[in-house]
Structure 1
């Protein structure tokens, strides 16, 4: 994971070309909220809701919070997904208004999804959750990031179409698959055709009882399946979210034929644990949003 703060930002040339006719400049301001219980029990990384930039096609961004294995507080990371063919420049400032915490003006060039801007909260773990820190209001941490994105204008015209889906799954249907002990048992949503492209469609699927080779614990996995049809290449920028458990996962993929993208949701045991609250009134609701992008051709122009 790259950290573009400090000296590295200058080495990457983040100060070059403040204004240029071959770039798209897009100011942004976004807010994320994280619950104190989720952060207190955090052993890895907690992701915030995904946002999509209005001016730069296919640019997705969100913040994540992670705790170090040592007693050195927490870190906030600004994640940016767009296209691996761009160098997306970001200038921004982090704010935690409740504690009057503000970063310097941070800069970075995102060359891959592993790059990012890190903002450290140098508190001891015990101090993070102390009321004296004033980080939490009504047991929530509010993080605001304001700044601007700058991205080169694509050399090849592309078609961009939004994709969005809310999938409601009955607990009893998933439980039936688990009771059968099937490793490959799964449910699929309906197939959705994308009229903007030639024979392109997508659907979601869920495997509630997947056991990988070398692992003992069954886990639940989500999949995005895309049929690329007659398109030579499809770019997908998308996110899954489950509001009842504050689950968010954003990513991007690049496909040249029928492909699938999988992500880990939780262990099978946690999925059906009533204290985890994946199900509300016996229903698991998965929100899916994003965009599909493809190069514009003469055929698509006529369409």
Structure 2
């Protein structure tokens, strides 16, 4: 159990939890910033968490839900207030409905996470600031302290895994619920470099090609809300063509973009018959480069399974490897 102290201050309206770990600060920091990792310990063992959004920058948002043994859902959100890379971050933490909408009937609180190096590894101090004494007592009565102890007791196993989340592990696929899928890949480059590689037409033509034997003759990049993007891939033998088109819904350079996407073919050039997905791209600085997290929301389970069965993830891995070797090298 990493927790070494829990202190309640009813005058300052705070609850402070101190935990020590036998890993470097960077390893512990990344565990909190990487959605794949934090969801392995944020919820208690019987209420595992799923993060469907985890921005990690001021003004950003995180959305998560914890699922109980009978399928019951307890959802929450963070609003990111401040980030001092590798040292501390501050969020507003609150309750939410299952769709992520903040629950105004429940209290929210300010949480500050501070990471420092120690002789044996690292120390995390988590301070929760409550609005009133009644709210502090209400949340403690709901089991907040016990929940934090159970959740943080799982961190050691996550941070001691030095291979599953490291650079070089390849593109990972995770199914979320019935209609979503998340791909994750650490790319050896800075956030600015990786963002540019996703939003510069000349660079995209060099790496986002999937398997060998294809080119991208059309690459129209959208960089503002409401603009449309369009791409076309063509096989070297000229026998196959297809592409994607869609609209930008949100964009916050260089960390996050949300777009719609529909596949078009010569038989359906306007993509009228293609199912539409929503693609949420988030870039997170981690040890070894930038974590590229892509959450895709499909219209239904059958569409998700159909698209994933095309070898999409393998094609993404080939493209990401090309990005590292030919663009960012």
What is the TM-score normalised by the length of structure 1? 0.28
From the two aligned structures, give the one with the greater strand fraction. Answer: 1
Q: Name the structure, 1 or 2, with higher relative contact order (CA <8 Å, separation 6+).
A: 1
